[in-house]
Amino acid sequence: MLRLEAVRAAYGPVEALRGIDLEVGAGELVCLLGANGAGKSTTLRAISGLVRPTAGRIVFDDRAITGAEPSAVLASGIAHCPEGRRVFPHLTVEENLAMGAYVRRDREGIAQDLERVCTHFPILGERRRQAAGTLSGGEQQMLAIGRALMARPRLILFDEPSLGLAPTVVETTFAIIADIRRQGTTVLMVEQNAYLALQMADRAYVMETGRIVLSGRARDLMNDEKVRRAYLGG
């Protein structure tokens, strides 16, 4: 479904991605691991159009999307759930969800999906008229996930979905992501909690300083000595 071929990207003179090769198959949940500054978030931003690659190709459903505008990437079927939730704090929950569907024109379908998201996340339904900035961190994460689902994506990019959340909320968040995948949506996830990420993933890639240094089935990487030492506490 998604393929990155020798993708490079930079922030000014600093090269953040140094020739990334990565694949995600339809229906898979793939996680991207690595230390802070390894290039994980930049990889997701390059896919979603927030960072323009300086070299290489990004192909989605056999169509090149390299350097496409974020709105075009979203319209193609890729939604990005960014690090830190990034909800619109002064807009209501319902208005935030509607923003997720801004590239769609099917008003009836949007209304149906809004109700579906509020049913899936009852707390959002209860607080649909409430300003998003007044929600807890866990509730804002649910809102960010719901907003991504409003685009009816075939692929969702999750960037550190557990960051800053209480352990019980982390468990709920991962259960939601697993359920999204079970319902047929493909997932590429950057996650600091390597143990939980590898438990739920099909495959994983490990990044260091802008490069992929290791890849394979998630269960195999959980038993890899280097991965265990660096990311799983021994």
CATH of the domain at 218: 3.40.50.300
Q: What confidence score (pLDDT) does residue 229 get?
A: 81
- Beta-carbon contacts of residue 20 (< 8 Å; ≥ 6 apart): 4, 6, 7, 8, 39, 43, 56, 210, 211, 212
Q: Which domain holds residue 56?
A: 2-87+152-231
On whether residue 99 sits in a domain, the answer given is no
Two tokens, residue 135 = 């929600």
What is the reported pLDDT for 171? 85
Backbone angles phi, psi at 179, to 5 degrees: -70, -40
For residue 71, tell me if it sits in a domain: yes
Q: CA dihedral defined by 206, 151, 161, 84, rounded to 10 degrees?
A: 110
pLDDT of the residue at 233: 62
Number of compact structural domains in the chain: 1
Average pLDDT across the chain, whole number = 91
Q: Record the pTM.
A: 0.89
- The answer as to whether 165 is a domain residue is yes
Residues of the chain predicted below pLDDT 50:
none
Distance from first CA to last CA of the chain, Å, rounded?
34
Question: What is the pLDDT, as a whole number, of residue 234?
Answer: 52
Looking at residue 215, its pLDDT comes to 94
Containing 204, the helix (H) or strand (E) segment is: strand 203-208
Domain annotation covers residue 45: yes
Cα atoms in the Cβ-side hemisphere of radius 13 Å centred on 151: 27
Residue 111 falls within a domain, yes or no?
A: no
